[in-house]
Amino acid sequence: MRAFVFDAYQQPLHEADVPEPVVGERDVLVRVTAAGLNQLDEKIREGEFKRILPYKTPLALGHDLAGTVLRVGAKVHGFKPGDHVYARPRDGRIGTFAERIAVDEADLALAPATISAAEAGSLPLVALTAWQALVEKGNVRAGQKVLIHAGSGGVGTIAIQLAKHLGTHVATTVSATNADFVRELGADVVIDYRTQDFEKELSGYDVVLDSLGGNNLHKSLRVLRRGGKVVGIYGVPDPAFARERGLNPILRLAIAALSRKTRSLARKLGVTYEFLFMRASGDQLRQIANLVDAGTIRPVVGATFSFAQTPHALASLGRSSIRGKAVVVTPAGPDDATPASPALSERTRH
């Protein structure tokens, strides 16, 4: 089958003929209809995570999918051929830039019924990241104040909507051109990062979702109330992350050293910092699908590409600025050619 792979770290992504997926007894074989594009894919190709995620090459990339179930393993009872599903396959089993993929049933959920395949394919990684940052690590509650950086991006667009659903007061940082857009998503306070310093504008926040790292992370610690928390999804991992991943002692020491300055500043300010490396979860995707179908969360697809354009599309992530997510769409097969409604088609152009 066709897939997009890289042969060695820092080598280009290219199309290849790869073996058909092996379907285990608890696996679901899915024909990929749409696959979201994520910076994580490019960082893996560049070798940035090779000590944390030691993949063997050649490797097919891709962390998001929406598609149609073709076959299920002998011990799978929650899915059947023809089901429309979506998933973020777990680490070690990625590869959605392909015609088909076998996914552990625990990572899979029925796709939201009210959106297009492209929109469903845009959601899993960013929606799970927002959920795990705000609900799990942030323990966000009604009445709290939440700051979400990069509000017009893939994670930010979903996190703003989720935070508002949870009953919080939401601030976000974007360029001035995206100010009205994020207000439509639910942002209460919008900071133009090009002309305003959010550290001078904001204070007393309960939770910050930081996707930028570096100095932005340290400034984020200073806008918290005492007892507040920054959840970081880019930049400095913390020792808890190293323990969770089961990293070797040398890597644990290195991560502790890298994060020492951040953790020291957090202690001085009476706040906490936690690093999030999101995980696959079909259970959480089912809850997210319910929110989408209820109209609480809407996906934002800023660009779509054909399957053949996958390498160009992935490389363009760092060079262009789009709202929400970019998605690779494959031609519909005879079993999944359900057209989107006019309203849904309009949504993908936002």
Residue 197 phi, psi dihedral angles, 5° rounding: -100, 110
Q: What is the DSSP string of 243-259?
A: HHHT--HHHHHHHHHHH
Is the pLDDT at 346 greater than 80? The verdict is: no
0.85 exceeded by pTM: yes
The predicted structure's pLDDT at residue 319: 78
In a domain, 321, yes or no: yes
Q: What three-state secondary structure class fits 264?
A: helix
For residue 192, the domain's CATH number is 3.40.50.720
Q: What is the DSSP string of 202-220?
A: ---EEEEEESS-HHHHHHH
For the segment 57-74, the average pLDDT, to the nearest whole number, is 98
Shared domain check, 270 and 131: yes
Distance of alpha carbon 109 from alpha carbon 286, whole angstroms = 6
The predicted structure's pLDDT at residue 341: 33
The predicted structure's pLDDT at residue 50: 87
Burial class (CB in 10 A: 0-12, 13-18, 19+), 49: middle
For the segment 211-234, the average pLDDT, to the nearest whole number, is 96
Q: What average pLDDT does the chain have? A: 92
The predicted structure's pLDDT at residue 349: 28
Q: Which amino acid is at 47?
A: G
Is the pLDDT at 158 greater than 70? The verdict is: yes
Is the pLDDT at 243 greater than 70? The verdict is: yes
Structural domain containing residue 328: 2-122+299-347
For the segment 38-61, the average pLDDT, to the nearest whole number, is 92
Distance of alpha carbon 92 from alpha carbon 24, whole angstroms = 15
Shared domain check, 192 and 151: yes
Number of domains in the chain: 2
For the segment 182-192, the average pLDDT, to the nearest whole number, is 98
Q: How far is CA 314 from CA 36, 93, 142, 308, 317, in A?
A: 10, 19, 37, 12, 6
Distance of alpha carbon 323 from alpha carbon 58, whole angstroms = 31
Shared domain check, 263 and 142: yes
In a domain, 21, yes or no: yes
Shared domain check, 211 and 113: no
The predicted structure's pLDDT at residue 255: 86
The predicted structure's pLDDT at residue 340: 37
Instruction: Give 300-343 pLDDT, tens digit per residue.
Output: 999 999 999 999 999 999 777 899 999 999 876 554 444 333 33
The predicted structure's pLDDT at residue 104: 98
Is the pLDDT at 77 greater than 60? The verdict is: yes
